Amino acid sequence: MAKKITSRNKDYSQWYLDVVREAQLASHSPVRGCMVIKPNGYALWENMQKQLDQMFKDTGHKNAYFPMFIPKSFLSKEAKHVEGFAKECAVITHSRLVSSENGVDVDPTSKLEEELIVRPTSETIIWDTYRDWIQSYRDLPILINQWANVVRWEMRTRLFLRTMEFLWQEGHTAHATREEAIEETEKMLEVYRSFAEDYMAMPVVTGVKTESERFAGAVETYCIEAMMQDGKALQAGTSHFLGQNFAKAFDVRFQDSDGKEKLVWATSWGVSTRLIGGMIMTHSDDNGLVLPPRLAPTQVVIVPIWRNDDEKAAVSEYCDRLYEEIKKAGIRISLDAREQYKPGWKFAQHEVEGTPLRIAVGPRDVSNNKVELARRDTLEKEITDRDGLVEKLNVLLETIQSDLFKAANQRTKDQTSTASDYREFQEILDKKGGFVYAHWDRTSETEEKIKAETKATIRCLPLEPVEQPGKCMITGKDSPYPVLFARSY
C-alpha cells in the first residue's frame, strides 16, 4: 500500500513531492520553476477561493482586475519597493517572433520602447490607477481585491510553496486615516487567521515582521506563520500597512472634510497557492494526502462492490439512492462506479488523494441495510447503519475537521520551545527544529547574526506575547518579550 510514497522520516522533501504527484495535485512544467496545477489541485484552490472570496465580500470588499503588464517606470517610483522586487522581475522586451532556421527567433525590430514588467505584485499599477479614482474623502475607503497570477523570478522553487508563477489574491485598499488603514490591515489578518484555522485546520501564530522581513514598501507587515511537520515554519499569509508610501510615490491625494489636501493611507494583503503546500505539509501522512473536509473537493466517496450482474444491479441501485440522498444534503460526494478498477485499487487511490470519508457498499451491506465507513485521517473502518447515514456523515465531517485541527495544534505546541540562552537556542534548532521563543534586543545586527549562524529567522513578533521582559540571548540587552524564531520555507 502506498508504496510509491517515500516516508516522511526517510526524506521529507521527497515525501512532499511524492504526495503532490500521487494525489495528482500538480506536476512540473517544461519551464523551470513553473507547475501545471491538475484538476485535483485546482479544485482545492477553487474551494479556498470560494471561501476567502466570501470572507472578503463579508468585510466589504469588491473584486476588480488590473493588467498583468506594468510599465517598467512604475517600478521605480517607490524606492523600497523596487529594491525588494528588482532582482526577481520577468521583463518583456519584444513583441514579435520571426521564422528562422531554428524555428522562430525574437524579431529584433519589435523591441519595445518601454519594457514591460510582468507583475510580481500589483501595488504600482493599482496606485497609479487609484490616483484617478480618488479626489475626495467621499471616495474613500476603496476596498478592492483581485484574483490573479503573479511572477517572481525565484532562484529556487518548490511545487506550491514557491513557484515562479503563482496564483493568489491581493487586496489593495485606500483610506482617509492612518487608524482606519491599520484597522483594515488587522481585520484582514484576522480573516486569514480564521481561514487558516477554521477551514484549512492549520494553526497559525499571528504577529508582525521585523524590518528586514517586512514587505518591500510597507510600514508594517502582519503575518500568519504555520509550523510544518518537519519543524520548518511557513509564512502562510501577509497583511501590510503601507502607510502613505504608495500615495506619495504615485501622488494620490484627496481633499478631506476639513478642506485640506491629504495623502491617502494604504494597505495590501495576500495569500497564494502556497496555502495548498502548507495544507499538505500540515496534515498529510505516509499514505498520501489528508484533506480537511471543509476544503476537500470530494468529501465522501462511495465505492460499490459486486461479483456478478445480480449483485451489480442491487448494489448499484442502493448506491445510486445513497448518492442522491447525500448529495441532496449538500455534501460533496462522488460515486466511483468505474468498472476498469477494482475496489482495492479505488480504496488505495482515494486514500492517496485524501478524500476524508469513504463508503464501501457490497452485497452484504445491501442485504443488511448497512455500509462500511472509513475515515482517511485515522484509517478507521466501521460497519454502520444505512439509516441515519447522512446525519452521521455530517457529524463525522465536522469531527474530522476539528480532529485535524486539534492534532495539528498539538503538534505545533510540541514543536514550540522556549530558549533561555543562545546555546540552548542552537541546540533546539538542530535537534528538534520548530518554533523557538527567545529574547532579542530588537536590533537588525543581532537578527542578522542569528540568521547567519543558525539559519533561523524571526518569524514574527507575536501579537499575543507569551512571557515577560528579559535579556537578549546574544547581547544581554533589554527585550520586552520573546520573539518567535524558526527555520523556514
Partner RNA sequence: CGGGGCGUAGCGCAGCCCGGUAGCGCAUCUGCUUUGGGAGCAGAGGGUCGCAGGUUCAAAUCCUGUCGCCCCGACCA
The footprint of RNA (CB under 7 A) covers 1-4, 13, 17, 22, 28, 30-34, 84, 87-88, 152, 154-159, 161-164, 166, 213, 215-216, 235, 238, 272-274, 287, 305-308, 339-345, 347-349, 351-352, 358, 360-366, 372, 374, 379, 381, 455, 488-489
Q: What are phi and psi of 442, to 5 degrees?
A: 70, 20
Q: Which is nearer to RNA, 10 or 156 (CB)?
A: 156
How many separate helices (H) and strands (E) can be counted in the chain? Answer: 14, 27
Q: How far is the CB of 17 from RNA (least distance, A)?
A: 6
Q: Is 28 or 262 the residue whose CB approaches RNA more closely?
A: 28
The residue to which cell 510615490 is assigned? 249
- Distance from C-alpha of 303 to C-alpha of 283, rounded to nearest angstrom: 24
State the nearest-atom distance from the C-beta of 260 to RNA, in Å.
35
Q: Considering the complex, state which of residue 23 and residue 140 has its C-beta at the smaller distance from RNA.
A: 23
Q: Which is nearer to RNA, 214 or 439 (CB)?
A: 214
Residue nearer to RNA on the CB measure, 82 or 140: 82
Name the residue nearer to RNA (CB basis): 162 or 442. Answer: 162
Q: Closest approach of Cβ 349 to RNA, in Å?
A: 4
Cell, residue 370: 448497512
Report the first-to-last Cα separation within the chain, whole angstroms: 30
Per-residue cell: 107: 524579431
Write down the residue that cell numbers 482545492 correspond to: 44
> Rounded to the nearest whole angstrom, what is the least distance from the CB of residue 414 to RNA in the complex?
23
Read off the DSSP letter of residue 487: -
Beta bridge partners, 416, equal 435
Q: Which is nearer to RNA, 128 or 170 (CB)?
A: 170
User: What minimum distance in Å lies between the beta carbon of 363 and RNA?
Assistant: 5
Nearer to RNA, 164 or 291 (CB): 164
SS3 52: helix
Nearest distance in Å: CB 464, RNA: 21
Rounded to an integer, what distance in angstroms lies between the CA atom of residue 454 and that of residue 91? 35
Min dist CB 45 to RNA, Å, is: 12
| Peptide bond preceding 141 in cis form (omega within 30 of 0) | yes
- For every residue of 119-172, DSSP letters joined together read -SSSHHHHHHHHHHH-SBGGG--EEEEEEEEEE---SS-BTTTB-SEEEEEEEE
Interstrand relation of 370-375 and 381-385 (parallel, antiparallel or unpaired): antiparallel
Residue 103's φ and ψ, nearest 5 degrees, are 120, -90
DSSP sequence for 396-448:
HHHHHHHHHHHHHHHHHHHTEEE-SSHHHHHHHHHHT-SEEEE---S-HHHHH
What is the nearest approach in angstroms of RNA to the Cβ of residue 275?
Answer: 9
Nearer to RNA, 93 or 410 (CB): 93
Provide the minimum distance between the beta carbon of 153 and RNA in the complex, in angstroms, as a whole number: 9
**In sequence order, which residues have a C-beta less than 8 Å from that of residue 113 and are 6 or more positions away?**
none
Q: How far apart are CA 465 and CA 450, in angstroms?
A: 21
